[in-house]
Amino acid sequence: MVDLNRFLVPWMDQVKPYGTEDLLIAWSNPELKRMMVNENPIPPSEKVLQAVFEAAKSGNRYPDNGPRIRAKIARRYDLGPENVFISHGSSEIIDMIMRLFVSPGDEVLLPNPTFSLYSIRARVVGGSVVAVDMTPDLQYDIPAMLRAVTPRIKVIIVCTPNNPTGDFISDDDLMKIVELGIPTLIDEAYLEYHPEHESKAPLIRKYNHLIVAHTFSKAYGMAGIRFGYALADEKLIDYFRKIQIPWNTSLLAMAAAEAALDEGEELERKAAYNNAGVEYICKELSKIPGVKPYYSHGNYVLIDATDTGATGQEIVDHVFQKAGVIIKYFAPLRGRKGFFRISLGTHEENSLCVHAIKKYLENRKKEKKA
């Protein structure tokens, strides 16, 4: 047998893959409630499905780079098609940014907690991560982030609203980061749930080191179809094209995205459905002594149950075992071990999940008194 370590890049053994075990469990057990990976519980519309079907008729042909969909996206931001790069979800954008800017020994600055794929893709290219804890109320700690900047920082990540904490970064704080002049990803994956907050895309006209990323996996409900895009200065988009894998976006994904962009009312319906669920979960869980849900502008709610004495893992395990609901455990933060996250499901699933959490904590309290 060949010793592969002789040929592998030396840092690869330190990389942990992005965990998808929960998806394997969910697909293998369709009766389970999927409330762990920020999926949209509402499936694509008939118009989107029909567009995919029609595109599949040309499935024997390679796709182009989507001039029509790029022009449609560009018009939404008063930009040109040359400012738009379409991708296999926004995950591809994250990967490409790391490959463009990060070399072994370089560093990526990001908040903690945030989307774990950022740090994984940084490490894949040999970079390291400088993760700055958020403030005790889970806001961006901008002074701490600015203090962490050194010449080794080659990329900064700003997810807004942030996953899993659910809040937006303020404009003033964002500009303090932008003015550093370091390549910065502004990830707006969840912005469509609250369009009253304007995209930061106009900033790319003045700042050629910014990339604004969007995905159709969340509010549009197309996680399995895989479509996203980046907005950036034309020269930066050209660099994306240099390193992209050809035909990275399928005919079917482009057709689905184009159809979805024409369904403004459908997007509003999905966002309203989600936001009602957020309100419900926050309202109900906040009634439980010792439980703190963080109001979210995304399709998830982060909860801290530390003050009940329960750990996040205990709650996640109980909800899975007793209610068949998969939710996500989060690592301790600032010594608090009760963090977990609920991805919004249908209203019925939300109710089932909340009831299971309430029941567990009530029984736990009774057992302690006994």
Radius of gyration of the chain (CA): 21
Predicted TM-score of the model (pTM): 0.96
Specify whether 83 is located in the same domain as 172: yes
Residues of the domain holding 155: 46-262
Specify whether 52 is located in the same domain as 72: yes
pLDDT at 181: 98
Mean pLDDT per 10-residue interval, the chain, length 370 residues: 91 90 96 98 98 98 97 98 97 98 97 97 97 96 98 98 98 98 98 97 98 98 98 98 96 98 97 98 97 98 97 97 97 94 98 97 81
Domain boundary among 230, 262, 294: 262
Cα gap 126→222, rounded to integer Å: 31
Specify whether 277 is located in the same domain as 157: no
Specify whether 24 is located in the same domain as 134: no
Specify whether 214 is located in the same domain as 283: no
Specify whether 59 is located in the same domain as 34: no
Specify whether 144 is located in the same domain as 197: yes
Domain boundary among 220, 243, 262: 262
Domain boundary among 232, 262, 292: 262
CA distances (Å), origin 314, targets 19, 128, 239, 311, 318: 19, 31, 46, 5, 6
Specify whether 282 is located in the same domain as 196: no
Tally of structural domains, the chain: 2
User: Residue 25 has which token pair?
Assistant: 């469990």
- For the domain that residue 337 is a member of, what is the CATH number? 3.90.1150.10
Specify whether 324 is located in the same domain as 340: yes
Q: Enumerate the β-bridge partners of residue 155.
A: 108
Specify whether 92 is located in the same domain as 238: yes
pLDDT at 221: 98
Give residue 15's identity as a one-letter amino acid code. Answer: V
Specify whether 211 is located in the same domain as 284: no
pLDDT at 370: 64
pLDDT at 303: 98
Specify whether 91 is located in the same domain as 173: yes
- For the domain that residue 137 is a member of, what is the CATH number? 3.40.640.10
